[in-house]
Structure 1
């Protein structure tokens, strides 16, 4: 009886233990599955947040680069001579030159439109001057970027265009004349392509201003509205945009993380069932888990390496921007130096003018002295008085040419006798040529040969070319400067060449670039201005490619006149 009773009781105890063990294993498996789900989802969400952070930094750097570039365009144009002339004297010629220059710069800087406003806020020049939607003549005095630029010097405003009906950022800078604001230069930037790139990349990006209003977005229907609330389970990253009171927000759904976690949990459950079924399959499941862990480690390592590389790239971009700011400051300083040189030219012309009166008196007294020489006087007296008259005539000729060269260009083009212009230029630079012992080879210019241009500016080109050649020949014992004349199909070509050291490839590549110079005290503006003058005349100024062992050669082509 006892043995027969013990069997059922022992069986019940064993069954209870098995049930308890099964319950423990089940609870452990469920706990492991829950832990797996939570860890995998947390890891996936962290990776998603990290990717969003990297993407946000990339987009912010791109916006910052665009803002810095366009601000530099507005700042440089605010000190541009062509813009100042258009504001000081808004005649059709000055306004047309300003519009053409703005149109050329718009294409080079990827701006949407650039325009110049006068003191009343009316556009007098614009890059779209020749289009049906030209801004010329439109009144923008109601815009904040106009009034704020007059008050503070510069301003920014994101708004919808009144003419184009296209949204964009307006960057403005005042233009000073005589220390007082006389107008405003405005650069408009549109971000349509940027927003399309965001949308094509599948990114949900919003850029808000200081008031929290959406101004840029990959979802155009959200523009000028409030930032939409984040959806359930969304992961986001937000960064400020340096240089603007903006904030960039990027969002992405975390559904993929939950799916990855669910997939991982199902996989672990399947592996657990295999482990309970057979040790072999359990061992293989552990091997696969180890491989996945290694792949995840490698993925994390690759991601961290990509982040480090992008950080280095961003650091390099920041260094480049600082270098650009330093170049801008240098350009501004050089413009101030150019203004000083212009002032010095005015003073020189004034001195030349003041010399004429005492010079005329000296000549008159010398002539009277010749008339009063008594008979039998020493011949040296007449010779000395004649020398005084000849030197007076020479000084008068030099001051006349100097005053003519210093006169302000009128802008009127007409026939200019080429021989007279060349003779005047040679006289102005003759002192250095004689001091250096430079041999001159000049062409035979017919007295009636005329070219289309303006006397003052043509002399400026010739003086610049001859002076550059003389400086290149400094210290050479066999120094020679040649000027040749050719005519073909109504075009007159003057070729100025020397036997100096010539141009290096580096200098030749930037020869007509503003502020690029090899001279310690040079500004790098002479050839740039001369080329622009030649173009205004309807001609051109070019340099032959550098050749070893040969000096520099420049060609000035001008339209001939009957």
Structure 2
């Protein structure tokens, strides 16, 4: 059954249906990709959070253990009688030297930053760094919280920058029991732990109860605050000199909405802002908080890769469904087409036969047209040759009339000689008559050969023979117009691919044009020469005429274009000559010589001479 033609009214509906399907594919793919990205990112971030929590618990345990091992040192020293003796006799130099030596030895053994003894008024009586220029001896630390807490409750803990040395550390204080009150303090440096954080994976920071970061894996985070501090808090810090006079600016933190249940922040670093997952862990018993910042770029890349995979899966599913639908449609169409094919096959052979007959008729017509064109071209070439002969008729007639007049005179003289019995003179006249008849026969033979109709058959042609034949045909015309023909020596054995008569026809046309052009200036020389260039023979015809103007050169090979007087030429000579050159696989070019006059060059392919090299 033939298909109904598609009307323009159906096109908008098809466009809307196609656009709807395209939107469905795009939106569906985007939804699948987003769901895969969201799920993959949440799973990756949850795994990252769990890993960070385990790491924080380990770090907190390590930190607590590192500080707890120093707790017993101040307690043991508080029972030492030398410390109580110095508190009882603070002006005793001997007691002070003994305690300084004791504290120095214990600090070295315990790897403590410093150990020092403070009396009830906060004045330092002895210290392990008594040898240093910045010794604690003589300094009053009554304002420090660890001193006040130890005096009030027996023990105190405090992290601060040293007010004397500026070196930060963790202070553990214990009150001495007895009649004379005092406090022994041990200072622990956490620099080594901080250095370990900087070398480990992930970013860590430790903040006190007020939110001041005092340990961090990045130096630019240290002594900054998690949130801006209030004026009251800043006053408290100033009174205790916990961080000296540092400005304590807030960290550059920006919340991110990449995950709803997890904290994602952008936090400033020295190079750029770090987009990281934030995890917290309190340090039991000290009021500190450990924070971990884990960069989520890797998790986002994994999620993006899975989103692309889901989108490709969606597209693959759609392509599979489309393929199955297409197969079902093609099966239905194939069943319908088989019926149409059987119906069409019945008429196909008839149509092929009709078309074959039409094509064969066209081929036959083309063959006939080609034969007609070839015949027309041959007739045109033949007409050109006959036109040349017609134009040279006067010169040829003069060339034949001269020997004919001589023949009549010699014949009359021979009869007289025979009547008088002058046998030798009569034989001499007969020999002259024979020479003149041969000359006339040669002229007629050249004319017959030149005018002979022949088909184009390419074969080797000796250039010197073609030159001689062409010169012989135009020599009478040249003498009549007082023009000298100069045939320069031809390279030895030079032969070209062509046809003798047609090459002669081209040369005759060029020589006659050169003779006519030179005659316009009262005579001159027409030169015929041959050269070899890049596997081709260059047959040149040069004259001493006025040359070719730009207008003439533009129409040089145009049929029926001539610069001669009416009746002296049809304007077909150069056109036919160019056609012959192209048919022989060569070309014909014309132009002016630098020294004056025109020059035409016939290019033909070189071949082996049929006579061999002389």
TM-score exceeds 0.5 = no
Q: Report the TM-score when normalising by structure 2.
A: 0.40
Give the structure-1-normalised TM-score.
0.44
Structure of greater Rg: 2
